[in-house]
Structure 1
Amino acid sequence: MSTDQILDAIMSGKSEDVAKIDVPESYRAIVVREEDQDMFAGLASRDKDPRKSLHLQEVPTPELGPGEAQIAVMASSVNYNTVWTSIFEPISTFGFLKRYGKTSELAKRHDLPYHIVGSDLAGVVLRVGPGVSKWKPGDEVVAHCLSVELEDPQGHSDTMLDPQQRIWGFETNFGGLADMATVKSNQLMPKPAHLSWEEAACPGLVNSTAYRQLVSKNGAAMKQGDVVVIWGASGGLGSYATQMALNGGAIPVCVVSSPEKAEICRSMGAELVIDRNAEGYKFWKDDSTQDVGEWKRFGSKIRELTGGDDPDIVFEHPGRETFGASVYVTKRGGTIVTCASTSGYMHEYDNRYLWMNLKRIVGSHFANYREAWEANRLIARGLIQPTLSKTFSLEQTGDAALEVHRNLHQGKVGVLCLAPEEDLGVRDQDTRDALGEKIHRFRNK
């Protein structure tokens, strides 16, 4: 059985055809190779080129374990964790795979000299392992990227606290930038029927992350009327945070880096936008000294836009470059909620402005299954729109990763895997028609 026959069965729209498929012994996948992990030694991060480290190659299909599912991947997307993997920063992901491989006989599959990357997918269930009852061959699904074992008690109130919590396609193998992927069945969620494959593939990681970080009680627990500063508000993560703030009755202050990105925020309904490049903010005088005057100027700009209010919440993810300013501008008793750190992990801030003003810093990382499911439900109901701006072929994944690495993209960058072209997979045309151009807001921006 070839992947062409899998595609034919999926395109027929008959789940019984998919159920009859014999899964092929190998498939195409985007990988980084262990032998390459020192290839960028000595180079600055910006000079490291994902096109040199991401390879498309044929890989053997892994054994399917209990509680797992094999997915035919129609489309995937590029996240920052794919970029980090491709440039081997902050560390090589092969250390993750080796540690995971030592945990069980089944986990040994993940410890390979290549790492299949990608933490998003939209596709079709091909087969399921023993013990899976919720999903069956032919089901159209998306996958969130939380992989947990749940053998420890810590994870049973919030699965993100499981000591064995990992991000699929980053800290595990067999990721979504491939013709097939292997996931745990509790990563699966229904594909929003009004979206194409590539549109449905893009929200998973960032939409779920934004939901936990901003809306969930495990994050900032945003409420109506909150002023929320959102860094990178037109980007892959910030674009979902902006929509959630607007949907939840909050007041987003969108921080962007160009007029084009400012216009995207306004098209989403945001009225308060700061173009940080146009305003010329430079929060660091040099590599070791932050500029408090610039923090104050940034805070004054926020109050100018809000009518005198400081932010209740700052939605942080750039990290080192902005964190000192974020702590400073947050209101007394407010919350800085942080994930990622795309400009650097070693954050510095003046603790006087935190401790004496009773502010809180909350760390947030991806989402548990319930949070991811609720975030996907918002997509399925048309309350949150996909932010797909551009789509590449699987062969062009290196180019896609470079765009994300250089911050040349808007929203999310999609990758077609088995899907032969864009705009396939729509099952609910009425909902799509009702949403109109909202779905295409980020296209060609």
Structure 2
Amino acid sequence: MTQDAVAATNKGAPQASKNSIRKVTTASMVGTVIEWFDFNLFGAMAALVLGPLFFPSDNPLTSTLLSLATFGVAFVARPFGGIVFGHFGDKYGRKKMLVLALLMMGIGTFAIGLLPTYASIGIAAPILLVTLRLIQGLALGGEYGGAVLMVVEHEGAAKRRGFFGAWMGSASPIGYILAAGLIALTSAFMPEDAFNSWGWRIPFLLSAIMVIVGLYIRLSLEESQAFKEVVEQSKTTEVVKIPLMEMFKRYPRSVLSSIGASLGIHAGYYLSIIFALSYARNEVGFSATAGLVMVLIASVFYFSAIMVSGHISDKVGRKPPMLIGVIGFAVWVFALFPLIATGNPLFAGIGFSVGLIFLGLLYGPMSTWLAELFGTQVRYTGISFGYTIAAVIGGGITPALAVALMDSYESTIPISLFAAGISIIAFLTILFTRRGLSHEEEDLSNV
């Protein structure tokens, strides 16, 4: 039985999906935006206010470090979420797993908004916070791969997979824009003491409305077209018994490539929007509102770069914009912190924006590039595993490590060196990666 579903479309057996590519893209992206909103909401709050509330300490830097470590806990859970969701997504379909992922993320976020602080219930507060972060991490681990596949496996995306896949990447900056915008709006209309005391809960609680809307939209979707075709060919919903083992057996190089390339985007992104935001407030003296506005504006540039890069990748291939983006960030990261350190909002804003533009060039084609490394039967598992393993190293460790380096060396240069080193690893990985599929399996090969 052939692995590639799109090739099977050309043979004419299965019936085409009733959902247009635009509808599928919109529905997939809306849910992913909500997931990233919830996830980034915690990240921004961890950098700004959650440390003293849940991890009180005589040293403010220690509170921030522990808060960011809690942010990183979710990254430890993400690979497990990717494996579990990928397993069942490859066996029983993408749609059910996406609905479950969104529901788990929504419950975790809403519960954080209701959580008592350390002053109220003592050590139980940080324990409960960590537990809810683990639930969020499991959910996000299963989200990305499924959302990408709902789009890039659709026959309507055949000639523009880079562009349509980029919409899944754009969900991250849109989610952050919504999260940062809501935090900035909330903090701007109340005294800082009130925001630090109880106002921070408002964005977490309001997320419930978005989750309900997202669930309604996702439930209206049909299953991924490519997966339905594989099921039709095999006459059973059990495509392979253990997708994870099949992935390692057939695509070992693709697994390594997916991890290495994803390291660049995770390390760069979370360094830019989590640690750099904390640095701007705690070390330089920007207000919470000013820092969030700068990152919010930079996220608009990030979104634009993602979409442009995805479109370009359909014309020239995935690698050129990705390589330019990752090497550009490796250089720019040495200018990022000095620009923030000037204390000038314009210079600091330029630092954030240019850095995210380079990361957008890297991230735009990545969804499709990752999907093109694996066959349909293990694609959910393959994308989710590589992407989330890289998230542990590049995203979960980076903000906390950056705080520790800052505390040890009292300089941002070691932080920039670390980020540049990760970027070079990603650059070399992308440069030397060949397609993971054999000629007969290239249902999602580069245009």
Question: Which bracket does the TM-score occupy, shorter chain normalised?
Answer: under 0.3
TM-score for the superposition, normalised by structure 1: 0.27
Q: Which has the higher contact order (CA 8 A, sep 6+)?
A: 2
**Structure (1/2) with the larger strand percentage:** 1
